[in-house]
């Protein structure tokens, strides 16, 4: 038996974010759990590198599309390594790239099969026609009337309701996939396999979408309009539709259509896959992909499992413009990987949207991990160290001692304790296999509380003073340690690092990653085992201090991390809490957010002249500058431009300053304003706004 689990392959037009990290964490958790149960598993992630959106991102960044993809891939790989999700850390097995030659070959084969196929209604699955309609480059999808909004100006194209970006008019020759002939076949697939699309609510959505009737799908673009893509076999004037190419990655990665790749991995061995996707791309996976597979005569995926979206703590969609995103650099710097994994799995009810904020991440880390699991582990081991000379004590207890303990409210009967644990394991696995990770974790934390209570009720520190209570003390500590071992095995797929540490601290030589939870037997923790060095699993996080640092850090990385589309940005105090004037080049002016002139007038923009500029010790992104804006005293401003500007070269420059921004302290310095700069390229390189003509200091911009 084998298992194949996939994440979506991510667009190579922008750098990874929390949404990407989340799907990878879920896929990684599933893959680890399968491996732990002895199932040979293959875990795929990667990048989707073709199409107009990548082509445009490349143009904006002055790169070729391949250079753009390489740049993003490098970043993705760094991210997966930093979060322990790459091969070296026991994570993914392949980082799939759709620019790989074996993929070209495999997709070619897949296309040919579809081109030869008849639909269930006896028509050609593929035909040539003319496409006329609207296309959203960001969705890489054609849009029907209910999926876009008309612009107020009739000469302007309509706007995608998801991305709020202008649609492209497409009117050209195209190959079509006869999707309209597949409705019955798809409905019977959903009917016959109740767990094909999960969770249930999503399955119902997909069913009603298909039942509402399907339109044929344009699956190519003329090479003259989209050149960055895979040519249609035997007709190189056409480029394959990027979703046709991208979805096929799931089979080409393991060897479909390429002998060498097949020998290295094995299509027959691993297919069908479990696809993990965000709910926003469910239609592509649960409707188009199964239909393509039906046409090509390839077996259907094992399941398509859709998760919800992360929103900010107030329920708003995360976006750079709103300044409410979660930065991966910040997560990585301030939080243990397992705390992030725990939060993602505990906080999101799978399939529904979840709220993600740094403050709640800190709260959960402190309460559930530092005070919960971490404290249970350290108090148990510390007492074994102190009262049992660092060796796992005997589990045996006489009837008399057991009854005495019971009268004191402490259950030490092995049959009772082990039965409870076995039941919890069963529930844990059931919820886990059902993708209800939050409920599985609740089960595990109910055990944590129970054992914590057992320890507190038994008061080992008192038992230790009375030699006649020795057996009870040993039994209580053994039960706590054995429960910890069980918890480590159950929780390993979710928290690989902390559970490994628990195993080591318990003194166990085995790799927790190889212990099948089903084989756990009460009492297998050997008496007399010398425990390892005790270290806190999750140090407490000082919320006030870390939140302050995160805010500072965000100001520092503001320009570097600002959206990679080349919009204008403010640099300096609160750079990521973008100013009202911030726009993306892709955003449609006036559609997303009109402001009126009185709103604009609230921003006091002034001409300033840089008087002094210097670096700040230990803040490699910030410069401390003073600027004359026509006031009595120059303003002091902190700007996140240190990586791009030599301080000396700034002196004497005329710049634009937001003069009425609330002062804020950063790194111990008060910042009394903000300077404006464009944010350029993928790095968000700041380019300071300036004047071509001479202007007096303090002149207002309006």
Regarding 310 and contact with ligand MSP (CB under 6 A), the answer is yes
Q: What are phi and psi of 8, to 5 degrees?
A: -65, 160
Q: Quick one: which H or E segment has residue 623?
A: strand 619-628
Among 3, 160, 344, 388, the active-site one is 160
Strand-pair category, 40-48 with 2-11: parallel
User: How many residues would you count in the chain?
Assistant: 702
Regarding 137 and contact with ligand MSP (CB under 6 A), the answer is no
CB 69 within 8 A of CB 49: yes
Helix (H, G, I), strand (E, B), or coil: what is residue 271? Answer: coil
Q: Which stretch binds ligand MSP (CB under 6 A): 17-25, 142-150, 154-162, 671-679?
A: 17-25
Which DSSP string do the residues of 22-37 spell out, in sequence order? HHHHHHHHHHHHHHHT
Out of 3, 9, 392, 605, point to the residue binding ligand MSP (CB under 6 A): 9
Bridge partners of 475, per DSSP, are none
Choose between 27 and 392: whose C-beta lies nearer to ligand MSP: 27
Query: Which x/- pattern over 311-340 shows residues binding ligand MSP (rule: CB under 6 A)?
Result: -------x----------------------
Q: Which stretch binds ligand MSP (CB under 6 A): 86-94, 216-224, 276-284, 661-669?
A: 276-284
Q: How far apart are CA 376 and CA 383, in angstroms?
A: 11
> Does 388 participate in catalysis according to the annotation?
no
* Phi-psi map region of 286: left, alpha, beta (phi>0 left; psi -120 to 50 alpha): alpha
In Å, how far are 157, 553, 555, 599, 687 from 673, measured between CA atoms? 38, 17, 13, 18, 17
Tokens matching residue 648: 């000396």
> Does 103 participate in catalysis according to the annotation?
no
Regarding 110 and contact with ligand MSP (CB under 6 A), the answer is no
Q: How far apart are CA 440 and CA 450, in angstroms?
A: 16
Among 103, 275, 320, 654, the active-site one is 320
Regarding 20 and contact with ligand MSP (CB under 6 A), the answer is yes
> Does 89 participate in catalysis according to the annotation?
no
Choose between 8 and 255: whose C-beta lies nearer to ligand MSP: 8
Helix (H, G, I), strand (E, B), or coil: what is residue 359? Answer: helix
Choose between 10 and 111: whose C-beta lies nearer to ligand MSP: 10
Regarding 247 and contact with ligand MSP (CB under 6 A), the answer is yes
Q: In the block, which residue shows the tokens 């759709």?
A: 98
Which residue's C-beta sits nearest to ligand MSP? 278
Among 3, 34, 50, 136, the active-site one is 136
Regarding 493 and contact with ligand MSP (CB under 6 A), the answer is no
CA dihedral 277, 90, 327, 368 (to 10 degrees): 90
Regarding 22 and contact with ligand MSP (CB under 6 A), the answer is yes
> Does 17 participate in catalysis according to the annotation?
yes
Q: Quick one: which H or E segment has residue 427?
A: helix 414-433
Out of 257, 278, 301, 372, point to the residue binding ligand MSP (CB under 6 A): 278
Among 3, 20, 50, 285, the active-site one is 20
178: nearest Cα among 125, 133, 240, 129: 125
Work out how close the CB of 54 gets to ligand MSP at its nearest, in angstroms, rounded to a whole number: 10
Among 3, 103, 139, 431, the active-site one is 139
Choose between 46 and 556: whose C-beta lies nearer to ligand MSP: 46
Regarding 56 and contact with ligand MSP (CB under 6 A), the answer is no
> Does 3 participate in catalysis according to the annotation?
no
Out of 11, 131, 241, 244, point to the residue binding ligand MSP (CB under 6 A): 11
> b or e along 145-172 (b: 16 or more beta carbons within 10 Å of the residue's beta carbon)?
eebbeebeeeeebbbbeeebbbbbebeb
Regarding 83 and contact with ligand MSP (CB under 6 A), the answer is no
Choose between 96 and 294: whose C-beta lies nearer to ligand MSP: 96
Among 163, 207, 279, 685, the active-site one is 163
Q: In the block, which residue shows the tokens 């691993």?
A: 270
Question: How many Cα atoms sit within 13 Å of 245 on the Cβ side?
Answer: 30
> Does 320 participate in catalysis according to the annotation?
yes
Choose between 8 and 496: whose C-beta lies nearer to ligand MSP: 8
Helix (H, G, I), strand (E, B), or coil: what is residue 661? Answer: coil
Query: Which positions touch ligand MSP (CB under 6 A)?
Result: 8-11, 19-20, 22-23, 48, 246-247, 277-278, 280-281, 309-310, 318
By annotation, the residues acting in catalysis are 17, 20, 136, 139, 160, 163, 317, 320
């Amino acid at each position: 038996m084998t298992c194949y689990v996939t994440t979506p392959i991510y667009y190579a037009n922008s750098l990874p974010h929390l949404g990407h990290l989340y799907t990878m964490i879920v896929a990684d958790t599933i893959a680890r759990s399968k491996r732990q149960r002895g199932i040979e598993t293959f875990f795929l992630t990667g990048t989707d590198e073709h199409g107009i959106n990548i082509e445009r991102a490349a143009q904006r960044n002055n790169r070729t599309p391949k250079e753009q993809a390489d740049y993003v891939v490098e970043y993705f790989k760094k991210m997966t390594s930093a979060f322990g999700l790459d091969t070296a850390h026991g994570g993914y097995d392949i980082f799939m790239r759709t620019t790989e030659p074996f993929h070209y070959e495999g997709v070619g084969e897949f296309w040919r099969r579809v081109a030869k196929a008849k639909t269930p209604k006896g028509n050609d699955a593929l035909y040539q026609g003319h496409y006329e309609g609207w296309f959203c480059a960001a969705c890489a999808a054609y849009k029907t009337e209910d999926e876009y909004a008309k612009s107020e100006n009739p000469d302007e194209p309509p706007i995608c309701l998801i991305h709020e970006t202008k649609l492209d008019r497409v009117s050209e020759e195209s190959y079509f996939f006869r999707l309209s002939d597949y409705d019955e076949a798809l409905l019977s697939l959903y009917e016959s396999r109740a767990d094909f699309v999960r969770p249930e609510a999503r399955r119902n959505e997909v069913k009603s979408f298909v039942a509402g009737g399907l339109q044929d799908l344009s699956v190519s673009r003329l090479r003259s309009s989209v050149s960055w893509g895979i040519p249609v076999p035997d007709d190189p004037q056409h480029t394959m539709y990027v979703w046709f190419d991208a979805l096929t990655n799931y089979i080409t990665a393991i060897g479909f259509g390429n002998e060498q790749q097949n020998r290295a991995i094995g299509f027959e061995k691993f297919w069908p896959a479990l696809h993990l996707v965000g709910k926003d791309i469910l239609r592509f996976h649960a409707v188009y992909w199964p239909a393509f597979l039906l046409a090509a005569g390839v077996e259907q995926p094992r399941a398509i499992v859709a998760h919800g979206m992360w929103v900010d703590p107030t329920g708003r969609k995360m976006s750079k413009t709103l300044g409410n995103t979660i930065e991966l650099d910040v997560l990585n710097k301030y939080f243990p990987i397992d705390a992030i994994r725990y939060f993602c799995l505990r906080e999101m009810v799978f399939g529904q949207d979840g709220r993600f904020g740094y403050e709640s991440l800190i709260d959960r880390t402190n309460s559930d991990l530092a005070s919960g699991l971490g404290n249970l582990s350290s108090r148990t081991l510390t007492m074994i160290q102190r009262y049992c000379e660092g060796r796992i004590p005997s589990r045996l207890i006489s009837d008399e001692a057991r009854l005495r303990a019971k009268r004191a409210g402490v259950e030490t009967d092995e049959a009772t304790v082990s039965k409870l644990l076995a039941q919890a394991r069963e529930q844990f696995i059931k919820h886990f296999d059902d993708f209800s990770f939050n409920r599985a974790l609740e089960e595990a934390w109910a055990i944590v509380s129970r054992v914590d209570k057992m320890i507190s009720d038994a008061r080992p520190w008192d038992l230790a003073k009375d030699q006649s209570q020795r057996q009870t003390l040993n039994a209580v500590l053994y039960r706590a340690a054995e429960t910890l071992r069980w918890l480590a095995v159950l929780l390993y797929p979710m928290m690989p690092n902390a559970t490994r540490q628990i195993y080591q601290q318990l003194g166990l030589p085995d790799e927790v990653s190889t212990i099948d939870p089903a084989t756990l037997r009460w009492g297998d923790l050997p008496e007399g085992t010398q425990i390892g060095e005790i270290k806190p699993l999750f140090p407490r996080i000082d919320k006030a201090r870390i939140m302050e640092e995160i805010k500072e850090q965000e100001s520092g990385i503001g320009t570097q991390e600002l959206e990679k589309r080349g919009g204008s940005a403010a640099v300096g105090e609160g750079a990521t809490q973008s100013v009202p004037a911030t726009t993306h080049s892709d955003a449609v002016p006036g559609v997303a957010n009109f402001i009126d002139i009185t709103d604009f007038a609230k921003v006091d923009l002034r001409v300033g002249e840089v008087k002094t500029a210097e670096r700040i010790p230990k803040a490699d992104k910030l410069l401390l500058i003073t600027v004359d804006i026509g006031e009595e005293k120059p303003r002091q401003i902190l700007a996140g431009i240190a990586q791009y500007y030599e301080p000396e070269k700034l002196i004497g420059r005329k710049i634009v300053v937001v003069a009425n921004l609330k002062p804020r302290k950063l790194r111990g310095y008060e910042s009394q304003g903000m300077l404006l700069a464009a944010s350029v390229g993928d790095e968000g390189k700041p380019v300071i706004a300036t004047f071509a003509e001479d202007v007096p200091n303090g002149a207002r911009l309006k």
